[in-house]
Structure 1
Amino acid sequence: MKTQLLSKIKKAAWLSFFLISNFNFAQQGEALYFDGADDYVLCGNLLPGSYTKEAWVYVTNFGLSNNIISGGATDGRHAFFIPNTSGNRLSAGHNGVWTAVQDPTPLVTNTWYHVAVTYDAATTTMKLYKNGTLVASNTNVAPYTNGNMVRLGAFDNGTNLLNGKLDEVRIWNRVLSACELQYNKDAELASGQTGLVAYYKCNQGIANADNNGIIDLLDETPNGNDGAINNFLMNGTTSNFVAPGSPANAIAGTLYNTLVVNSNQSFCTAALVSDLQATGTGTINWFTSATGGTALAATQSLTTGTYYVSQTTGTCESDRVAVNVTITTTPAPTATANQTYEANATVASLVASGTNLKWYTTATGGTELSTSTLLTSGTYYVSQTNNGCESTRTAVNVTINAGSLHLDDSNDRITLGTAINAVLDPINTFTVEAWVYNTSFMNTFGYNLGSIIGNYNTSSVDMQFMLRRDGTAYQLWVNDSNGTNFKAVSVSNIAVLNQWQHVAGVWNGSELRLYLNGVLVGTTTGVTGSSFKSNLINPIHIGTNLSNEKYTGNLDEIRIWSRALTDAELLNNMNCELGASQTGLIAYYKFNQGIGNGNNSGLTTLTDSSGNNYNGTLTNFALNGTASNWSNFAAVNTGVTCSPFLAAANFETSKVAYYPNPTANVLHIENDTVISKVEVFNLLGQNVLTVSTTGSAITVDVAALPSATYLVKVHSDNETSTFKIVKN
């Protein structure tokens, strides 16, 4: 034992050095070449009473006995060989009857063959296989005698030799079936084989090189049955480890009959046999019994329990492997069948009870909806997931109240009539505002003009006011007297597509002002008429005028005032719905009518929410679908009411103080009442900073803001104060 251990240690050290030094340019040995002169391997006393011997063999000279796996006259009378005296036919036998089984077909030289012989001592049956096929059998072969020595390439030491190559030599203590031999022959064995006594892969050294340091043929099993290499030159293309090896080397490390399977598999409701997972190279079949029975159909439903899997190659079925199957049933979530939401509602608004909810637009299949997906009226479906198992889906009928109105640029129009004209006749202060969502800058008539609201006609003097988009410009036009010239404020390159914008025009009796998103963007002075044009008979239209300047897109929150709103009022009111009792409010259209994108046939009245009953009439609208209809999205969320606006006179009593202005780093704000929040907006109306507090004084850090002009909105006791600052 000590000598053997030292031998292995020396061999391992030599192999490590040899392989490292030759790694980049040498090929590993894949077979062991016997020169037929004196080469053989002494494996030891290891042959069982019942056995299987198998190997790949490549004979180069049939002038010899060509023993493959044999014993000797005095230490194990068993032979597996290709005797020239029998016409080079594969043979095996015991105790002098050396051809107890023999292949009727001679082998040929320079050809790889997989050969095997099995012996069952209990039944005295010997079987001979070539390339996985049974070629001979004998049921009356007495057990071998005189010992159980095993030699490769010889019968007795140095005699009855093999001239050729061996690869994948295996000795088993059991009789392998034809299926097992057929399964195993074309690949190297995986570890953990039942009954494997010795296994010689012959994959040692460097092919055709100097391998003199190798003295043993390694046994790949844990049994330690290494074979002693005798008389090999261990250098060159014969009497050495060589390459290429047998066909089995092409699939090194694999085994055809190895099933890869998870012994515990979990599935969801309605799982089928086809959902079970196993990997192999043959035909995979599933059973409900460990042996026998009929393979299950792929469409058979699974239940919780134990199933068995095997694979079949040709007519050979492998051993079956048990698999524990668990079926998890996840019930559908519960939800109110009919749910109604306001415009701008998203999937996140939908309500259902369950775990890990998923929403879809189809009862089965489809893609899960993002929580930010805008809802439209229709049916949605919700499932829940538990332990990776998704349930069936529950239907929810969703109704989305409209929040804006879409105009298709063809012939849609809303007529407000002429009643408002008389209200405008005597005044010279005025505000008109609207939320617009442009979807095109060109209408079907070839114009890039889109009238938002006004009473313009083709006559150059026939108008009181018009709020209009002209290409990428927004404009406010007025006739400030009974003269022939219109006055306008126009700002170019501010209109955009597919984005809500708040546009407001103000006439304060001396100048016109244009606002975008609450920020003043343009001014025209010298508009000093004492009133609008009087006695005008042109009706006010929304979305068009009598010159076919048809607007394309969505409109929301249109308001007409008899006074000039301040910057702060516009900013305070633009992102919310107006409360009751607004001073100077002539007409107010929320567009919160009908079902978003639904069937709104007959809903042809646009309601005035000011209380003055200047309702509008819809003409030529489709009132069904996503175009020319009441829409499911809005600029202002329904039900969000503006906080009361604190007029400038009242702000004086609140004594809001702020300094320094301009500022580079911080802004100090003081008030005689508690400040709840301070908001900072850029001139595009975007909130860039919000700070909450509970005191009457606050220091706001604006150092990170870019240098620009900002609007600061101070919230205090349901009142607000807005002022401008300059950030250096």
Structure 2
Amino acid sequence: MRKLVINFLCFSLILMCFNRVTFAGEPNIGNGKSFDGTEQINFTNLSVNTAAGAKNTVEFWMYWNGINGQMPFSWSTGYDLYFSSNYFGFNTSEGNVLGISANELKGTWVHVTAIFSNGVPDSTNNELYINGIKQNISQVVKTTTRSKTVSSTGYISGYGDKYKFNGKLAHLRIWNRALSSEEIQASMQKNFLSGDEVGLVGSWDLTEEPQASKNFDGTKQIQLTGLKVNVASGAKNTVQFWMYWDGTEKVMPFSWSGGYDLYFVGNAFGFNTGESNVYGISSVDLKNKWVNVAAVFYNGVPDSFNAELYINGLKQTLSPLVGTTTASKSAKPQAYISGYGEKYKFKGKLANLQIWDRGLSQSEIQSNMYRSVFTNIETGLVGSWKLLEEPQVYKSFDGVTQFELTDIPVNTLQGAKNTVEFWMYWDGTNGQMPFSWATGYNLYFTSGYFGFNTLEGNVLGISASELKGTWVHVAAVFYNGVPDSTNNELYLNGVKQEISQVVKTTTLNRAVSSSAYVSGRGDKYKLNGKISQVRIWNKALTENEIQSNMYRTLSVEQTDGLIGVWNIEDDLINSNSGTVQYVYDSAGRINYITYLLD
């Protein structure tokens, strides 16, 4: 077997060699978001590269209605993309366009990618792609003389109060580097991003409703723990999410553990402090539709000055609609998505929830409405939860494909514990291992059972009958020693399972190792199914931690005990002629690739 080490600088080229790119005529997310010449979305705190000579990339899908004098995107510095005199391209607030004819852009969906160079724009440093094809840009309107740079603030539709867009826009993504032509062609076809892509500043779906959501039937609940919120008296925290409410009264889409929540009762919706009260708004117009909710929780007695509620980015006028509000309440490190304790569980759908340790401004709330990826570096972001029924980004396994993980800083001490978690779709075939350590300690399907295996033809686990043909979240606590039902733990969808010796006996002393496999062990036992988001911890997670983190976006550098995140997906190298080995940096991002050729 030959080993080929591919440096990360070559990653985009290698990525595209194995990508299967097809070109569509419009975005695969419905009709996008409509703009009528008055609407605008502001973006703030963008972690772009503002250094002289640096480059940043902006990409989006666009349907333009043909009216000139419009800007689909602009930076606050007066550096933008502009339609003027039937031309389209870069503008520097000089009435100018460095670009192309716009004749072929009218009345059709096109994918636009613009590489903004910090300096005086020219046809060498600035690049414009339409439907993944690089355009030959030139000075088509007036002259370009001003040096411009990108900024941490930007606009979708217009610049300030002018030049607002008429048409539709979808799938905006901003990168703090120049994408290659291969990366651009791949990105335009990808509906979903994992969030750990190199250089990704942010991704905004720009749709009228979320692309994916989680159903709540009045019995489901997600408990959140270890939230680093601001609990100081007088401080504020913001909770933002998409909500589809079915009209059922006496339900709570979100609550803090101290009895401070958002409550539907008596045709009202708003803040509740455990006093059978609502300080808020009428709920009549919220029923059976998607709305974006942002609630600024004030640590104190909620009132119309300190507490804030936004619906679809618009600040609401609050009033005491049900009961009286007298109790002083605060955000807590523990919270619930759906209900409070065992009561008031939500009926409807929820999606894309974020918690912030500060009060967001209206412009920040409007920006976050359409944002699909948070990179864990946003100021004040406590956490982001995708809330969906099944993963959007995953890797398909065909009984041959395998990923080898190396240099994992696990705890190998005798008696220590490590946790492995991932989303899994199993096709029902026995004799398969979705995950295994190099030491022969693994998770195994055999004889209709699933659980821990030590290469003794054994399973310490559960019946696999309910796992076939469905997505489940698996969390396995591996004990370094002889596995047993006390020290080893198995969780499915956040619920601890009663494991037992269901196949043969377990006698061998096993431990985790710095190398592992996703799908099989060595050349055997490879999976038929799908795997998404593998995460490894050097400690045993609790049931509350597993439930809290199932839908949460996590980074290695900001999470205690989390030592690896692998967002494997079909759009990465897809070849069965060898083994792909990914080497990751401390943040779980691909550093370089080792490809083992047969």
Query: Which structure shows the bigger proportion of residues in strand conformation?
Result: 2
Instruction: Give the alignment's TM-score, normalised by structure 1.
Output: 0.27
By relative contact order (CA 8 Å, sep 6+), the higher-ranking structure is 2
Q: Which structure has the larger Rg?
A: 1
